[in-house]
Every structure is written in C-alpha cells, then in structure tokens.
Structure 1
Amino acid sequence: MTLTSTVLVRTREARRQRRSGVPRWALIGAEIAVPVLLLAAWWFASANSTNTFFPPLRTILTRLAELSATPAFWTNVGSSVGNLLLSFLLACAIGVGLGIALGTVRWLSWLLEPTIHFFRAIPPVALVPIFVSLLGFGNETRILAITLSAVFPVLISTIDGIRALDPERVSVGRIYRIGRWDRIVTISLPEASPRILSGVQVSLITAFVVMIASEMLGSSLGLGAMTLLAQQSFMIADMWVGILVLGILGYVANALLVLLRRRVLRWYIAIRQQEKNL
C-alpha cells in the first residue's frame, strides 16, 4: 500500500469517527434546509405585497417560467455563460503561465511586479468603461475586460505558491538533473496547486462581477443587459428574474469549482486531515 493510499484510508476512518455523532444525511439535510427556508420566508413575506418594486415570489417564478420558454432568454443565458467560461479559462491560463515565470525568474519579477500591483489595485469594474471607450461595445471588449480583471487573483496566488515551494524538493530535482519543465510539472505545480486553486476561486468571483458590469454597459445581450433593460422599462418582475437567474448561475459555477478543487486536491486534503488527527 502506498503512502498516499494509506493516508486516504486513515483519513476516511478519522472522518467516520468524527461524524459518528451526526449522520451524513442530517448534514446534507441541513445544507439543503437553509436555502429552502429562505425561499419559504421570501414566499410568505411577499405573498400579499402591493409594492411595485417588490412583487410576490409567485409572480417572479411565473414570469421565469414564461421567459424560459422563449429563445431570447436562453440566448442571453448562453451569451453570459459563454463569455464567463471563455474569459475565466483565459485568465487561468495566463495567470498560471505568467505566475510560474515570475515566481521562477527573479529579474523578470523585479521588472514586472510593480506594474502588476499597480493594475491589481484598480477595482475590476472600473476597467470596463476604459475598454468600452477604447474598443467599443463588441463582445470581444467584454471578454477582454473580464479576462484582464480575473487574471490577477490567479497570477498573484501562482507567484506566491511557486515562491513557497519546499527548497529541499527543488534541490532534489536539480541534483537528479530533472529538466526545468519536468520540475515545473512534477514538483512546482502539484505543491503550489492549493494556493493556485484558491486564487482561481477568487478569480471566478471577479470574472462573474465584471461579466455583469460589462453586460450592463452598452450591451444588448446577456443576463446583465436583460436585467438592466427590465429595470429601465419598469418590468420589475423581469428584473427580479434576471437577479434570481444570476444568483443561481453564480451558485452553480462556484459549486462546480469547489467540487473540482476537492477532487484535484484530494491528496492535499487527506494529508491535512491526517496531520490534524496526529
């Protein structure tokens, strides 16, 4: 039995012991119960609402069902999801690649880091009007704005992860004359992956915020544009539908990333749990 499998087995046993007092079904039920209770509270609190800007939840869900039967609604959803996914993947690729270079090559880090920290200090949403002014209102502008805004969390976390590598492991790789690229793939990236994926999760949130802002500024496609147009046209139920769908989309995107992070870092989580049990 390998060391990794031994750690995984012991971690599962320790996890079962800790959870012996609370059944797993109870934990899952508690996780589901909170949003259900919030929706129920919203339903009853708004049931008799006569406020134009706070319609009953029943009206919002009815309007959601009506809009979901139209091609225009799914065109807006597809535009938002497509821009978010493409920009997020580009930001991760650029951030990890440049972060490895800056974390490894010291003179390149001294040369570029002041500029990186300058642009990182600018609020991401503030970049959207700049790109629109320079490049117009095309879809490429939104993708560029989302990508450049979301790249900094991945970039900074990758630099920190590479610089925090265990010097002994790096020295062993050099002693055995492992090539630079092989050292990056087999030593640097696995050890830095916990910090990198933490930055990736922050990057997703940033990309989501800038996606909405970019669609609200001069765009006719996307959930952000749909929500803003509904607000300006006093179609309040449609506005609430846009907000609700954006919340669901953000929750699903974050949940998928958390599942991916847990699967990729299964070995790291197992080691951390084993250390706690010692």
Structure 2
Amino acid sequence: MSGAPTHESRRPADHGAAARTAHLVGETAARTARLARGALLRRLVLVLALTAWQLAARAHGSVYFPPPARIARHAYDLWFSGPVGHAFLTPAAVDTILPSLGRMAAGFVLAAVVGVGLGILVGRSPRAYALCDPVLQFARALPPPTLVPVFVVVFDFGTPMQLASIVFSAVWPVLINTAEGARDTDPLRLDVAAVLRLTAVERLWFLLLPSALPRIFAGLRLSLSLCLILMVFSELLPGTANGIGFALTDAQSRSDLLTVWAVLVLLGALGYLLNTGLLAIEKRLTGKRSHERRSKGSHKSSRTESRKGRST
C-alpha cells in the first residue's frame, strides 16, 4: 500500500529522537559532573582553610587566637551537648540561639511582606516610582546603627525596638528590587492580560510576581544578611537579657575569649545555613523555568546545526 508508512520512512524520525535523547542525557551527566566537582572544590578549600588556621594557632600558642578544633569543642559543650529529646540543645542554647532566631525570623518575614507588597505597588506605577525613588534611595543609604537612638526613644528598650530596627533597615533591599522587577515585566504580556480581561489578582499572581521573582530573591538575600547583622547589634544594647548578641557582650565582659570565638563561628555558620536554605527555595521556584529556557535554546541550536549540515 502506498499510504502505509514503511520502515525506511520511520527511520529518520527515530534516529532524530534518539539523537536528542542522547544529547539531553549527555548534557545532564555533564552538568551533574560540574556540580559535583564544584562542591568538592568548595569543601576542599574549606578544609584547607581550617587546616591552615589550626596549624597557625598551634604554632602561635596565643590565648587570643585559639585553634578551630578547640573552638568547635567548646561550642559543642556549650550549646549542642543536650539530650536527644531537646534536639541536642542545652539550656544555654535555648536562652541564646532560639530567641535570636525568633527575632530575626520575625523581622525578616515582616520586611519581606512589606517590601514585596509596596515594591509591586511602586513598580507598576511609573509616576509613583519617579516620586518615591529618591526617598527609597535616601532611606536605603542610612546606616542602620544610626537609627537605633530614634527607635529607643520611640519604642524604649526591648523586643519592639529590636524588631523595628531590623525591619526598617532590611525592608529597603526587598522593596527596591521588587519594584525594579515589577517594572521589567514585559509590556506585551500585560497587553495580553488586558485583552484576556484578567483580574488584578490574576495579573499579580501569573504575571508580576513570576517576572519579578529573580529580583525579589536578590533583595531577600541582602535582607537576610542585614537581619542577621541587625539582630546581633540590637542585642548588644542595654535592656537585652538573652540572645547571641547578649552572649557575646557577656563573654567580652568576662574576658571569655573562647566563648567570643564560639559566638563568631556560630554567627558565620548561621549565615551560611540560612543563605543556603534561601538559595534552595529560590532554585526550586525559579530553576524550573530557567532550565526549560536552556533546554529550548539547546534544542533550537541543535536544529539549526542540523539544518546547516544538510545545506552543506
């Protein structure tokens, strides 16, 4: 029959599908190898840095510069040698780490909600953006410690003052980056949304937020680091009875240098873990679309190369 497909007519299509599959498998394997190699190199650099620190501290023998092994052992005994039922946290950890994390989490969530909400409103109105941009840039440039006396007068010492200082200084990176991301939304997509008569909530959910999401996460990462710094700074002030900053001040007053170093290492580890978690959330929310764009681009390039090969 002339209409029935023959074995020869199916062979080019099958060969093209197999080639694309092999290309995708090879690309995935290469990407996995690159990620594994990068992770191994990062851990190797960390091990080398800790080894150099350990050797230098042991050679110097100064009480002001303890080796990292001694600092880690002291931090474990101080905070992480508790019972299993309390997640290995000691009473000192409950009084030191958990209150600080609670203040920082509350300040970060408030800054994120206010920053994203106001950033969308300001970014979608050119007139509002032109009017508010000088004020936003001025407020962002203010050093956070200089505002603490103002918050002390308004809120007095305590948790409200600490939260106010964290939120006021951490909200600006989120707000400005969200406004910039909302302004970068494709006008053609907005015109299509107007033709389809999407509601304001639908345009926000399906157009504005996805378009601004990379810039939002850039602002959130900056805000997270600011929240950690301001959390410690606010706990250094009088009127604080717990927290990491209070533990640092107390250790300095007692000349407990080992605890001072343990607090500094704890802050670095918390910053790394929190940033890693935020990056994982960002990758989960935005990585799928970027992967799809890269896959489409590779498919287009492979088709272009095949057409060039056939033409030659």
Q: TM-score, normalised on structure 1?
A: 0.87
C-alpha deviation, 1:276, in angstroms: 6.5
8 Å CA contact retained: 2:170, 2:227:
yes
Q: 1:65 & 1:120 partners in 2: Cα distance?
A: 38
Closer, same or farther in 2 for the Cα pair 1:10/1:120, shift >3 Å?
A: farther
Decide which of 53, 56, 72 is 2:64's aligned counterpart: 53
Long gaps (5+) in structure 2: 1-20, 82-89, 302-312
2:217 is the counterpart of 1:197: yes
Residue matched to 1:40? 51
Decide which of 227, 231, 256 is 2:252's aligned counterpart: 231
C-alpha deviation, 1:107, in angstroms: 4.1
Other structure's SS at 1:165 match: coil
C-alpha deviation, 1:111, in angstroms: 4.3
Residue matched to 2:4? none
Q: 1:23 & 1:133 partners in 2: Cα distance?
A: 54
Which deviations, in whole Å up to 9, do the C-alpha atoms of 1:89-139 show, x marking residues without a partner? 111100000011111234443443332222111022332333124322201
Residue matched to 2:198? 178
2:158 is the counterpart of 1:138: yes
Q: 1:157 & 1:24 partners in 2: Cα distance?
A: 28
Count of aligned residue pairs for this structure pair: 269
C-alpha deviation, 1:199, in angstroms: 1.1
Residue matched to 2:275? 254
8 Å CA contact retained: 2:136, 2:176:
no
Residue matched to 2:261? 240
Residue matched to 2:7? none
Q: 1:86 & 1:32 partners in 2: Cα distance?
A: 32
Which deviations, in whole Å up to 9, do the C-alpha atoms of 1:205-244 show, x marking residues without a partner? 1111111111112223211221122122210001001001
Which structure has more RCO (C-alpha within 8 Å, separation ≥ 6)? 1
The Cα RMSD (Å) is 2.4
Task: Give the letter for the 2:44 counterpart.
Answer: A
8 Å CA contact retained: 2:221, 2:278:
yes
Residue matched to 1:113? 133
C-alpha deviation, 1:52, in angstroms: 2.5
- Structure possessing the higher radius of gyration over alpha carbons: 2
Task: Give the letter for the 1:258 counterpart.
Answer: L
Q: TM-score, normalised on structure 2?
A: 0.79
Report the identity percentage. 32
Task: Give the letter for the 1:64 counterpart.
Answer: A
Residue matched to 1:6? none
Long gaps (5+) in structure 1: 1-8
Which deviations, in whole Å up to 9, do the C-alpha atoms of 1:159-185 show, x marking residues without a partner? 101111100000000011111221111
Q: 1:15 & 1:91 partners in 2: Cα distance?
A: 40
Equivalent runs, 1:125-164 vs 2, <5 Å: 125-164=145-184
Decide which of 276, 279, 287 is 1:266's aligned counterpart: 287
Closer, same or farther in 2 for the Cα pair 1:23/1:181, shift >3 Å?
A: closer
Moved more, 218-227 or 245-254: 218-227
Q: 2:134 & 2:91 partners in 1: Cα distance?
A: 47
Closer, same or farther in 2 for the Cα pair 1:273/1:128, shift >3 Å?
A: farther
8 Å CA contact retained: 1:76, 1:223:
yes
